[in-house]
């Protein structure tokens, strides 16, 4: 018998029904958006993740 894992979107929708999870998700959203912008800017400038992290004085794992 093959078991299937839930898709991320259905997992996320179910998790966000919990008010505590939703509040934490919303609180962290700006941080994740900023990281996404930094990574995208680095890609547009043809920089590696290591180069971007060095320019921003962060570790590579902070941008992962």
Amino acid 51: pLDDT? 87
Amino acid 52: pLDDT? 81
35 located within any domain: yes
What is the 3-state secondary structure of 5-50?
CCCHHHHHHHHCCCHHHHHHHHHHHHHHHHHHHHHHHHHHCCCCHH
| Burial group, residue 53, by CB count within 10 angstroms (0-12, 13-18, 19+) | buried
9 located within any domain: no
| Cβ-based neighbours of 37, under 8 Å, separated by 6 or more | none
46 located within any domain: yes
Structural domains of the chain, count: 1
Amino acid 27: pLDDT? 96
Amino acid 49: pLDDT? 82
pTM over 0.75: no
- Three-state secondary-structure class, residue 2: coil
As averages over each run of 10 residues, the pLDDT of the chain (64 residues) reads 80 95 95 86 88 82 70
Amino acid 20: pLDDT? 97
47 located within any domain: yes
32 located within any domain: yes
């Amino acid at each position: 018998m093959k078991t299937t894992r839930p898709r991320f979107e259905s997992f996320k929708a179910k998790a966000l029904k919990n008010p505590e999870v939703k509040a934490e998700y919303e609180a962290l959203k700006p941080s994740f958006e900023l990281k996404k912008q930094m990574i995208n800017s680095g890609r547009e400038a043809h920089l590696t993740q290591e180069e971007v992290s060095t320019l921003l004085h962060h570790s590579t794992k902070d941008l992962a």
